[in-house]
Homo-oligomer: A and B are copies of this chain.
Amino acid sequence: MAKKERITGVLAPVVTPFRKDYSPDAERFVRHCRWLLKSGCSALAVFGTNSEANSLSVQEKRKLLDSLVAGGVPPSALMPGTGHCALTDSIEMTRAAVEMGCAGVLMLPPFYYKGVPDEGLYRNFAEVIERVGDERLQLYLYHIPPVSQVPITLALIERLLGKYPGIVAGVKDSSGDWSNTKAMLDAFAKDGFDVFAGSEVFLLDNMRNGGKGCITATGNINPGPIDRVFRNWRSAEADKLQAGITATRKIVQKQPMIAALKAAIAHYGNDPQWRTCRPPLIELNSSQEKELISELKANGFTMPGLAP
């Protein structure tokens, strides 16, 4: 069966808006997704770390996914996170995404048990692939050891890629360690394994070494300028463009990232309800938000077309 063209470019792990009672707000979610796709994102990695996805039940995520498609977001622009601690949850969510026609899924390893052997992680991913049993599946591995504490090793990638070529499609590397991203590129990019940097700070380096783009938190608020680096990475001005998006990133990541993204959307979209985070996360306090916004303004940051 012929595979669809694969996703490249800039993806946002879309932040999830909540109502006052912490229930997911589908309407604001759809609106933000549509803004992102208009503003520079080639696709949306909904239900990522920055989406507070692990604070949502499988049912809540499935309903949000339905709302997106009903709201006009094409499944071909979706790479939802589908990896859970529970094998059966990962299977359910992955199957739902594939059946909707999502372009890919981004899969965390099961992350409760620490120090598990690669054999156990291999069995986890292999079981999901076998049970979903659908050649349309494009599985992107999600390597984020600072949060998950469970790494996706090169040896594990090699074994999965050997067994499931064409299904194991790539990785998001959120290690924050360029040498690890480089090692993934050197080992597997030639085999059609698509490496996405987990931060736009590494976007230009990733493109120059055979990578396919980035999936980045800050994509939620700065998609246009990040996309400009992606589209112009071969141009003479690439380094200058990269310096610009790196500067914005550094401002945002001084604060707790998810709350900062939500504060920026609340401020620039004039929509205070966006500030709410679901426990265990909390919103920025007022001095954190003041620092964030004033530094962004001083840097000339804008979110064109966000405010109604």
Residues of chain A having any CB pair with chain B under 8 Å: 22, 49, 54-60, 85-89, 92, 109-114, 116-117, 119-121, 123-124, 127, 146-150, 277-282
Contacts and interface: CB of A to CB of B under 8 A. Distances in A.
Given A22-B87, A60-B88, A114-B147, A282 B120 contact: yes
Residue among A49, A86, A148, A278 with the most chain B CB within 10 A?
A86
A112 B50 CA distance: 12
A212 B186 CA distance: 56
B57 A109 contact: no
B55 A58 contact: no
A92 B58 CA distance: 12
B56 A119 contact: no
A86 B57 contact: yes
B149 A109 contact: no
B124 A279 contact: yes
Given A22-B127, A92-B57, A280 B147 contact: no
Contacts of A89: 57
Nearest to A147: B114
A85 B121 contact: no
Contact of A278 (B87, B109, B147, B149): B87
Given A54-B86, A85-B55, A87-B22, A279 B147 contact: no
B120 A280 contact: yes
Contact of A112 (B55, B87, B88, B117): B55
A114 B88 CA distance: 24
A109 B22 contact: no
